[in-house]
Each structure stands twice: as structure tokens, then as C-alpha cells.
Structure 1
Amino acid sequence: MQLIGQGWIYRVGNSLIRVENAFAWLGWAQERLVVNDEPVRSAGAWYGLSRDFKEDWLTPTGEGELLVRLTSRLNGISCDAWLDGVEIEPEALRVARWRGDRNSWAPAEAWAPAGKHAWIVRKPSAA
């Protein structure tokens, strides 16, 4: 199947966090949370509209929680991330297209900077 992917890259301390979403027009959607190139959470479903990932996270003041929320909207897909309730802004936005089975992901070199016509819903400040 043809998959259309979106990726949000966040930097938290010394860690690089990638949140990736992909969908196919026939109704399949999949998501994953990757920390320092290691997948730590993944999910997929037919006709999914949102996904939350929660991950324990060590902060400068102790144990905290990283919360990532992906939401399908009428005009695209949004991703919001919080560390201990404080919103984190993405460092980069990426897109990819590939052919593959459910739960397959594009190779790293297939991901390119997101343009204005990506499926990523941008906040007004990130326009």
C-alpha cells in the first residue's frame, strides 16, 4: 500500500525524539515514538483518529513524564508534546512517501523537510 508519513523531531536535553505518523487512503494509520534512534512505542489501527504516547522521563528535577498526542484533523495531522506539563516545540518537521505493508516505515534517507503542503497541521506561530 502507499503510505504517507509525517514526522516531528523534538530535542529534550541530550535526547532526540521523533514522533512519526503514517496513513494510507484506505483507512490504515500507524504511529511510533523513537528516542535516540530506538523505537520505544508503536501502534497502528484502521480508522484511528488520535493516539497518545506516555513515557517516563528523567528531568533535571527528578522523574517526569513525556506525553505525545497525535490528532487527525480535517486539514491534516497535528502533534503536541509535553514534558511534565510544559509544552515542547518541534525542532523540525519531516515528510515521506513509500510503498509498504502495515507497520513498515520509510528508510531514514526518504524523510525530507516538510513543505507548506504537507499533512502536518502547523500552529500559527510555526507558519
Structure 2
Amino acid sequence: MHLPHDPANPAADPIHFDDFLKVDIRVGTIIEAEPFPEARKAAFKLKIDFGPTLGVKKSSAQITAHYALKELIGRQVAAVVNFPPRQIGKYMSEVLTLGFGDETGEVVLFAPDHTVPDGARLF
């Protein structure tokens, strides 16, 4: 059910367009996916190919509710590629894979609906 205004999830404060341009969101193709049993919340370890300029980056993603490991291989996803790496347990996550919460809060991946070149930037 879609609510026109959800006071529990208000819109963020306005920003300048230049602030948006600082966030580097790129598309990449998942080339490896494996379990991440050490994570506090259920997650997978991903290796994502962002093309020749950025190469392959690692990400931890809490996407176990809607996705099986086998179906992730070859799937394009969007990720923020210019955050500093983040240590998650013994795993260093290099990019933030993007998604939206469904009605129960489980992550649904954000991806283009047509194939685009790996490394393409969101604008």
C-alpha cells in the first residue's frame, strides 16, 4: 500500500545539485556471490565488475530475503563507488550496493531495466 505522506520516513533536507554530483553511483555486473555467515545480519559477499576504469570491487549486501546466490551472477546492480571502504567483520566492503526496502524492510536491488555498459555513471 502506498501512502502519499509517511511521517515515519520524511524526505531528506534539500541539497544543492553539486552535492548530488559528489556521489558517484555506477552500474556493475555481479561476477561472484557467496554466503557471508560471519555477518551480524544475513548478507552475501559480492564481487562486482565496474568495467575497465574502476575494475572489480567487493561489497557486502543484505539481500538474502529476495535473492539466491546463483541468480545474482550476471545481474547488473547500482552502487556508490566513492565512499571509503568499510570493514564489516573480517570483510572489507569497497562499494555500497543500492536497493530499496520492500513493505517488510527487506532489500530489493536497484538496477537498470536495460543492460548498460559496466561503469556507466548515474546522472
Length-normalised TM-score, structure 1: 0.29
Structure that is richer in strand per residue? 1
Asked which structure has the greater CA Rg, the reply is 2
